[in-house]
Amino acid sequence: MTSETGYLLDNRQREAGRRFDALAELFDPWTLDHLDQLGLTAGWRCWEVGAGGASVPTALAERVGPTGRVLVTDIDTSWLTALSGPATGPIEVRRHDVARDEPPGGGFDLVHVRLVLVHLPDRAEALRRMAGAVRPGGWLVVEDADPALQPLACPDERGSAEELANRIRRGFRALLAERGVDLAFGRTLPALLRGAGLRDVRAEGCFPLTSPACRELEAATVRQLRGRLVAGGLATEEEIERHLDHLRGDGMDVTTAPLITCWGRRPE
């Protein structure tokens, strides 16, 4: 993640690894398909911002090869230790806070960030800095959630289990809002990229309706936040245990907030 304060889902907690794995299963194919369509290939210089886990940086390194470069930054690089060392080829891991630190220089063919900016107090400034790090002709790709666009954990609220899931999801959204998260941020990305001087701006949304990874992401998030949910009167310990028990089966269709993927090119 990218800020020392304010981030609700602390990456130093054990459940963060499970969240990274679930997010990778849900969204990596979508993300990488979009990056490939932009022409990602051998020799490209890439900056992966707020990587969290190692899956996307590893995939980028496979595509750019030994003649390329993949700079991977985060304020907490503990989940990226496997990427450090001579055997990792073009990957460099660096501790960096995109909200506070100056962007790395040199110009990048691709700057990519996923599920980071929505948590930052000054999102527009962080985006401007990333856009400034893109070389002429290069691409900025920003992916972020829009919980207000589809706020439910279970769109098909057909029973008490789904009703409880939606109530706990409302509690999660309340905690996010208290931390200053813009719950409608995803839909603003096209205007923000154009405002940063980028051209050929496009955007699409990914909305996985149900999968085992959706349930695992939900369970890991609830386990990570259970203390805050209980302390805030948003759920009881018994309700959380009941919800987690429902998630262990395969009978409940759980979804995520839509992931909005937006990309734009710096003019030549």
pLDDT digits (tens, 9 = 90+) for 56-85: 999 999 999 999 999 999 888 887 877 765
- Sheet containing 199-206, strands listed edge to edge, beginning at the edge strand earlier in sequence: 91-95, 69-74, 45-49, 108-114, 134-145, 259-265, 199-206
Q: Greatest CA separation found in the chain?
A: 58
86-90, 146-150, 180-184, 188-192: which range is least confident on average? 86-90
pLDDT at position 3 over 50: no
Return the domain boundaries, the chain.
15-152+181-207+257-265
What is the reported pLDDT for 123?
A: 87
Q: What is the mean pLDDT of residues 209-220?
A: 95
Q: What is the mean pLDDT of residues 100-121?
A: 91
Confirm if 155 and 209 have CB atoms less than 8 A apart.
yes
pLDDT at position 4 over 60: no
46-55, 147-156, 189-198: which range is least confident on average? 46-55
Report residue 117's pLDDT band, with 50, 70 and 90 as the boundaries: very high
Mean pLDDT (the chain, rounded): 91
Q: For 178-208, how does the pLDDT look when each residue is reduced to its tens digit (9 = 90+)?
A: 988 899 999 999 999 999 999 999 999 999 9
What is the reported pLDDT for 85?
A: 59
What is the reported pLDDT for 87?
A: 53
How many C-beta neighbours within 10 Å does residue 92 have? Answer: 15
CA distance 72 to 95: 8
Residue 250's identity, in one-letter code, is D
Tracing tokens 């969204």 back to the chain, one arrives at 27
Distance of CA 247 to the CA centre of its chain: 22
Rama region for 235: left / alpha / beta (φ>0; ψ in -120 to 50; rest): beta
- CA dihedral 15→78→26→217, nearest 10 degrees, is 10
The encoded tokens of residue 90 equal: 């073009």
Distance of CA 94 to the CA centre of its chain: 18
The encoded tokens of residue 264 equal: 């734009």
Residue 146's identity, in one-letter code, is D
Element (H, E) at 216: helix 212-231
What dotted CATH number matches 15-152+181-207+257-265? 3.40.50.150
CA distance 104 to 71: 9
